[in-house]
Amino acid sequence: MRRETTGELMSYATLLVHVGLESETSGHVAVAADLARRFDAHLIGAAGWAPMSMFLAEAAKLGRAPQDRHLEDMKTLLAQAGGHFCAAVGKAGVVAQWRSALDYPTEVMAREARAADLVIVDSAREGRDPFRALDPGALILKAGRPVLVVPPSISALSPRRIAIAWKDTREARRAVSDALPFLRQAESVMVVAVCEERGGEEAAREVKDVADYLTRHRVATIAERVRPADVTVGAALLRLIREENIDLVVAGAYGHSRLGEWAFGGTTRDLLGQDLACTLFSH
């Protein structure tokens, strides 16, 4: 596939989707299959399951033939999940590849991300087995790829209206570049900065620069918006999603430390917890 001379993605050639062992045909898998069709992309499904025994975990990592029946059963269930996944996306007209390992799902997905342009996961974690459940926040930090987080309530993504949550950070700049394939297909793109009143002029200059950058990359129908921070940035973005019927948010993730975000509150945490729209995160 031809790439632009700037090195930016014209499209996503390979998508990687996490497959949960309990819900291999959940909404985010349907989203992944639809995006694979839309971008004419290769689709890889992946899952992980970490043994609870440290001895068995080390044996699995070293690739030794498992002597424990429990490991054999785990490998069988992972293979079955792969079969269900491939059959489900096959009904949607997508041919997919399957990968799995006896390891924590976050670690498996971070490793397999080397093969993909975009990683797709769901945001649900509460009440799930930590040995089988993915941690979306940790994956965003580890993957080195953009991560599309799909709320459990969403099973279809048609990103006609996209909002870029702008803050002048490395993470946000990376997110804008990573999202170009989506942005080029959108009907409406809004670049939004939420700032204190005294920073409004500088924020407006930054937002205009981003809008001009997108225009040069053939992104059409761009609106610029600077909103005062009368509430937290996360709350302001959630309000925007509702008011503007946003389908997809593009955001940099963890501009501060993840520990600080979870301890004191942060925009990444707020966006990960919302169920209104999908969010493409880059770190």
- Which of 150, 174, 203 corresponds to the end of one domain? 150
167 and 269 share a domain? yes
Query: Is 242 a member of any domain?
Result: yes
Q: What is the pLDDT of residue 265?
A: 47
Q: What is the pLDDT of residue 99?
A: 98
Q: What is the CATH number of the domain that holds 96?
A: 3.40.50.620
Nearest-angstrom CA–CA distance, 49 and 1 = 34
**How many CB atoms sit inside 10 A of residue 20's CB?**
21
Query: Is 191 a member of any domain?
Result: yes
Query: Is 264 a member of any domain?
Result: yes
Nearest-angstrom CA–CA distance, 275 and 123 = 9
Query: Is 67 a member of any domain?
Result: yes
Q: How many domains does the chain have?
A: 2
69 and 175 share a domain? no
Contact indicator for 24, 52 with CB cutoff of 8 Å: no
168 and 103 share a domain? no
- Determine whether 156 is exposed, middle or buried from the number of CB atoms within 10 Å of its CB (0-12, 13-18, 19+): exposed
143 and 165 share a domain? no
- Determine whether 13 is exposed, middle or buried from the number of CB atoms within 10 Å of its CB (0-12, 13-18, 19+): middle
Tokens 């993504």 belong to which residue?
A: 157
Q: What is the pLDDT of residue 129?
A: 81
Query: Is 8 a member of any domain?
Result: no
Query: Is 199 a member of any domain?
Result: yes
166 and 217 share a domain? yes
How far apart, in Å, are the Cα atoms of 124 and each of 59, 104, 133, 274?
30, 16, 9, 10
144 and 25 share a domain? yes
Q: What is the pLDDT of residue 264?
A: 41
Nearest-angstrom CA–CA distance, 131 and 253 = 24
204 and 245 share a domain? yes
Contact indicator for 47, 82 with CB cutoff of 8 Å: yes
51 and 18 share a domain? yes
CA dihedral 94, 95, 99, 105 (to 10 degrees): 0
116 and 171 share a domain? no
Query: Is 1 a member of any domain?
Result: no
Query: Is 155 a member of any domain?
Result: no
Domain that holds residue 91: 14-150
24 and 136 share a domain? yes
Q: What is the pLDDT of residue 78?
A: 96
- Which of 129, 150, 171 corresponds to the end of one domain? 150
**How many CB atoms sit inside 10 A of residue 65's CB?**
7
137 and 217 share a domain? no
The verdict on pTM exceeding 0.85 is yes
| Residuewise pLDDT in 10s, the chain (283 residues) | 334 444 566 799 999 999 998 765 689 999 999 999 999 999 999 999 998 865 555 655 555 555 577 888 999 999 999 999 999 999 989 999 999 999 999 999 999 999 999 999 998 765 578 888 999 999 999 999 999 999 999 999 999 999 999 999 999 999 999 999 999 999 999 999 998 666 688 999 999 999 999 999 999 889 998 887 788 889 999 999 999 999 999 999 987 655 555 444 489 999 999 999 999 999 9
- Which of 150, 174, 202 corresponds to the end of one domain? 150
Helix ranges (DSSP H) in the chain:
27-39, 54-61, 69-91, 105-112, 136-143, 170-178, 180-185, 200-216, 233-244, 258-264, 267-273
33 and 129 share a domain? yes
